[in-house]
């Protein structure tokens, strides 16, 4: 669309992320996990009328949304072959302000059926955290980090 020969590519002057889309194998199951298990708010699955359009959105902090979209749709739309999931490919961190919140949110995830990959414990760099996996092995770290502002 653009003509690269005439254009000096600009760089990302203000890098930001507005949507984090997680590829899922069973959209209904994943919506149930995030909505009913973790308490995330959503309008549910929308876009079913569009081919590969079925998706669910969840509000995170202002300016950021979580989207759940079938891996099959992501693969189809980008001409990717669909292989096995890679749990080491990505992690999301949810920071909290006390260690006890780490404990209670990991307990919430456990009650929702999530495998706990790291029971809450101190980190070698300070802080305290635990890690659970969603139904598609996307890792969520719940972390209390008193030194967060220094990073």
Footprint on residues 103-142 left by a copy of itself (CB under 8 A): 103-108, 110-111, 117-121, 124-125, 130-131, 136, 138-139, 141
Judged by beta carbon, residue 27 or residue 58, the one nearer a copy of itself is 58
Rounded Cα gap, residues 151 and 107, in angstroms: 28
- Looking only at residues 22 through 51 of this chain, which bind a copy of itself when binding is defined by CB under 8 A? 22-23, 38-41, 47, 50-51
* Choice between 32 and 72, CB closer to a copy of itself: 72
Report if residue 57 touches a copy of itself, rule: CB under 8 A: yes
Inter-residue contact 113 to 140 (CB < 8 Å): no
Residue selected from 26, 54, 95, 127 as contacting a copy of itself according to rule CB under 8 A: 95
Bridging pattern class, strands 42-46 and 19-24: unpaired
- What residues contact residue 30 under an 8 Å CB cut-off, 6+ apart? 22, 24, 56, 68, 134, 135, 136
């Amino acid at each position: 669309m653009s003509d690269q020969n005439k254009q000096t590519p600009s760089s990302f002057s203000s890098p930001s992320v507005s949507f984090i889309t997680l590829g899922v194998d069973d959209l209904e199951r994943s919506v149930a996990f995030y909505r009913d298990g973790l308490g995330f708010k959503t309008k549910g699955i929308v876009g079913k009328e569009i081919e590969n359009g079925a998706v669910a959105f969840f509000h995170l902090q202002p300016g950021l949304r979580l989207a759940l979209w079938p891996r099959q749709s992501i693969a189809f739309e980008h001409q990717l072959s669909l292989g096995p999931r890679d749990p080491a490919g990505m992690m999301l961190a949810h920071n909290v302000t006390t260690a006890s919140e780490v404990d209670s949110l990991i307990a919430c995830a456990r009650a929702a059926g999530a495998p706990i990959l790291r029971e809450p414990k101190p980190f070698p760099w300070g802080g305290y955290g635990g890690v659970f996996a969603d139904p598609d092995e996307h890792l969520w770290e719940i972390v209390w980090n008193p030194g967060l502002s220094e990073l």
